[in-house]
Amino acid sequence: MNKWSVLILFFGLNNLVNAQKESVVLHKNETVNIETNRRGVEIESTIGEKRAIYDSKRVEDYSIKIVYDNFMSVSDIAGNTISEKNRNVYTLYQYNIARGDASGSNVFHSDMKYLFFKMDNVTDNSTINFSYKIRYEEPKLVHPFLFQGNLETKSASITIVCDPEVELGFKLFGDHIDRITFSKTIKGDRTFYQWKAEDLPAFKPEPLMTGAFHYLPHLVYWVKSYKKNGEKIALLENENSLFAWYSQLVRNINKRGLSTVKAKTMEIVKDAETPFQKAEAIYRWVQENLHYVAMEYEMGGFIPRDAADILEKKYGDCKDMANLLCTMMNEAGITASLTWIGTRSKPYSYHHLPTPSVDNHMITTICIDEKKYFLDATHKYCPFGFPSVGILGKEAMIQIDSNHFSVEQVPIPSAEESASEFRFWLKSEGEVLKGRAEITKTGYAKEQFLNHVATKRKETENELWKGILSDGNNKMKVLLTSSQKNDQSNAPLTGGYNVELAGWIKSTSSGMILRPILYYPLSNMTIDTGKRKYAVDLMYNEVFNYEYDYELPAGYKTEYLPENVSLIDSVGEFHISYSLENNHLRVIQTVKNKQIVVDRGSFENWQAFIKKLIKNYNQAVLFKKISE
């Protein structure tokens, strides 16, 4: 993740998960002053907030954390607490402000720091006030203003004051836009832009929701251009301006000799015959041999390190791995480009927002036989040719050369490309089903399991493999007999099992009852359409295929066999068929989702689909004893 995304989250969504209504933001405001001088553009922001604290036990409601880095400075922190008990005013003193390193555990080296303070003498029904200033050292890297946060907000406003010759860009995103009013006035030699909002509820995240910035109402502003000595200077006018800055950042990389990179590349592709095979070999080598380590220090958060350095050290962040992958591809004669992209947590496009806020990631794009492949080697088990899950459907800015680029949308693989397939051969011994099973997983379904294996350190690999079957049906006893992960290969993951399942076939006085469907994919994805507010992120399209072969005991005939059923919908589809041949019942079950995100407009449709699916999961086959 790009560190600017982390900064935004800290500034706007402190303690987001613990959202409650008890405390209230009475008013939050920000005043941004944009000045132009001989050095260029200078931006300083004054931020203030007033909160009513109703429950003093909720310390997080009056604990403030300000995250910053070397592109910005924080000053003039002030605050006070007004006690409801005696109306005394308690001042925030500088010695109460702590400083620390804001880097996450997965960040190796970063310039991110934080300032933290907790307001003193807070009792129930107290009021707190705090304010501080931010000075931006890089005018392209300003932060958005969030009108809504983890507490109910009575009012919020942002005012931007600048010279009339500053061309300002701005855009609102998220929900509740209808509650935000805008005005623009000119007073003397200053232009005032102001946005105000009132009565915004506390933001409450929901499970499996898409990124919060899709819903939180917020303003992103940027300087398009300004005048210096009467001459117009473009800063972030459009996509061309953004790419020009990006291109400038990477123009001096790979200055070290690339002889070692070329030698390693030739070694990797020596047995490959086609460009596709060469690209696949290089991609897999980078996946297997490089370790992702986040390094976000000053411009190091934006500029890739030399490919030769990364090859030597065998670690790097997304930019470093993209640069090494791109360089190796080009050395092998494959057209490859550095590519800037934002993950699906961001709701932005380059057309609406030509600023660095759009992006938080870098990948490599290659072109073989006029087809583009978006490759992200930071995902260790992502199959070759598949984009990583986090960038599906997103716009990508692809560098063609130092002066040219293209913006293209990352494709979303079909459900058939990520398949989970289960085959069972079972027979009844009394009321117990016994037999064997085989599984295969491809695409993202395979990647998800391999990631699960890599992160579950306390569980044995054998237990994790057995969990593929037992997670779907916890009554099943499973013995793993064979397995093949094919880690970085595009070959399927496969497993073989001996299985035993009691209670799925029942004897009656006149026959037997069999529940033929053993697994219920998507059945837990119901949506409470009356309460759910935010879209459901299913990550990727997937198909589940099940084939059950039941060998039935002699002396029985079929009394009831469910009808075959098929439902094809825009959100998904399922097919279940039943057939009898000799003494075998064969059931084929296929279920797939066809949207990686179920948006709010599709809730009713999705819920109706899931209800029909569950209804058809609960079918039974009746067998009657044959009279002698």
Residue 88 predicted with pLDDT over 80 = yes
Q: CATH for 245-409? A: 3.10.620.30
Q: pLDDT tens digits for 140-188?
A: 999 999 999 999 999 999 999 998 889 999 999 999 999 999 999 999 8
Architecture of the CATH domain 419-625? Sandwich (2.60)
Q: What does the pLDDT average to over 38-66?
A: 93
What is the C-alpha to C-alpha distance for residues 565 and 415, in angstroms, rounded to an integer?
A: 20
Sign of CA dihedral 267, 271, 273, 276: negative
pLDDT value at position 103? 56
pLDDT band at 111 (very low <50, low <70, confident <90, very high): low
pLDDT per position as a tens digit, 272-314? 999 999 999 999 999 999 998 876 544 556 789 999 999 999 9
Identify the band that residue 87 occupies on the pLDDT scale cut at 50, 70 and 90.
Answer: confident
Q: Rounded to 10 degrees, what is the CA torsion of 349, 351, 356, 359?
A: 30
Window from 78-92, 210-224, 256-270, 576-590 with minimum mean pLDDT: 78-92
Return mean pLDDT, the chain.
Answer: 90
Distance CA 387, CA 373 (A): 7
d(CA 488, CA 450): 10
pLDDT of 625 above 50? yes
Cα torsion through 286, 292, 294, 298, rounded to 10:
-10
CB contact at 8 A, 138 and 248: no
pLDDT at 396: 98
pLDDT > 60? residue 17 = no
Do residues 377 and 321 touch, judged by C-beta distance below 8 A?
Answer: yes
Q: Determine the pLDDT at residue 628.
A: 55
Which tokens is 591 given?
């279920």
Tell me the whole-structure pTM to 2 decimals: 0.90
pLDDT tens digits, one per residue of 395-410: 999 999 999 999 999 9
What residue ranges in 102-214 does DSSP mark as E strands? 107-110, 113-118, 126-136, 145-146, 152-162, 167-173, 180-187, 190-200
Nearest CA-CA partner of 383 in 309, 468, 467, 284: 284
List own/partner pairs for 287-291 with CB under 8 A and 24 or more apart.
287/377, 287/379, 287/380, 287/381, 287/382, 287/488, 288/380, 288/487, 288/488, 289/314, 290/314, 290/315, 290/316, 290/321, 290/324, 290/377, 291/315
Question: Is a pLDDT exceeding 50 seen at residue 500?
Answer: yes
Could you read off the pLDDT of 449-466 as tens digits, one per residue? 999 988 887 778 888 999
pLDDT at 461: 84
What are the extents of the domains in the chain?
Answer: 3-232, 245-409, 419-625
Domain covering 3-232: architecture: Sandwich (2.60)
pLDDT of the residue at 19: 42
Residue 380, Cβ density class (10 Å: 0-12 exposed, 13-18 middle, ≥19 buried): middle
What does the pLDDT read at residue 296?
56
- 11 C-beta neighbours (distance < 10 Å), count: 19
Q: Per-residue pLDDT tens for 213-227?
A: 999 999 999 999 998
- Taking the CA of residue 99 as centre, how many other CA atoms within 13 Å lie in the half-sphere pointing to its CB? 10
